[in-house]
Structure 1
Amino acid sequence: MKEFVVIHDYLVSEAVVGDWEGEEEHVAENLNEIYHTLYDYAEEDIEPEILNQLLALVWEHWIGQEALAEIESEDISDWCLHVLQNREQYLEN
């Protein structure tokens, strides 16, 4: 059921990420990679509401983190798997 969630609704451009001292494009790319990875890793039959909540969590969690400018694909993968495996913890808050 994840096909009912439009990933493009979440993707960002450098214009919306704020001031990252010249790293805005890279930060936007990293955020978009997180969105895509989380979406790709989600099971096909995930409830759209749950997936939307998890995707919204990406912005809430990452936009203020300095590590966002330096995060590697392996770390993005690990974080996304962790969120999906522990979704109850993240959705309770």
Structure 2
Amino acid sequence: MKHFVDIQVVLSTPDDLDYWDELAYEASEKLNTILHMLYDRADEDIPTAKLENMLQHVWESWREDGLLLDIDDEDLLDWVDQLLATWDDEDFNTD
């Protein structure tokens, strides 16, 4: 149930991405773009835990990825669509 997930709580700030130093604002904007893409493209009836796990996966996958600022939105949409199509909660390890 997508409406139970408050996307505003998940979004990053530049302070969250201190890895990026002076590019933290741009990195935060790009990470938030990916998070919004995932949220917007997820089915309305997606289980809450599944969506939360996927959003956490986006954070873990992209927050320090050196390609974050170089990848274009079209490629990000493809990445998000692939994630939605292939996601399996059993493969997601929260440890």
Provide TM-score, normalisation by structure 1: 0.91
Deviation at 1:52, TM superposition (A): 0.4
Partner amino acid, structure 1, of 2:61: H
Matched, 1:13 2:16: no
Deviation at 1:22, TM superposition (A): 2.0
Aligned to 1:24: 24
How many residue pairs match? The answer is: 92
Structure 1, residues 15-51: CA drift from partner, whole Å, max 9, x if none? 1101324211110000000000000000011001100
Provide TM-score, normalisation by structure 2: 0.89
**How do 1:7-86 and structure 2 match up within 5 A?**
7-86=7-86
Bigger shift: 21-30 or 78-87?
21-30
Alpha-carbon contact 1:30-1:71 (below 8 Å) kept? no
CA distance in 2, matches of 1:56, 1:87: 13
CA distance in 1, matches of 2:7, 2:83: 17
Alpha-carbon contact 2:20-2:64 (below 8 Å) kept? no
Deviation at 1:58, TM superposition (A): 0.7
Aligned to 1:3: 3
Q: How has the CA–CA distance of structure 1 residues 75 and 7 changed in structure 2, closer, same or farther, with 3 Å as cutoff?
A: same
- Give ranges in structure 2 of 5+ residues lacking alignment: none
Partner amino acid, structure 1, of 2:67: A
* Coordinate RMSD, CA, aligned: 1.3
Partner amino acid, structure 1, of 2:3: E
Partner amino acid, structure 1, of 2:17: V
Give the ranges of 4+ consecutive aligned residues of structure 1 lying more than 4 Å apart after TM superposition.
none
Bigger shift: 16-25 or 66-75?
16-25
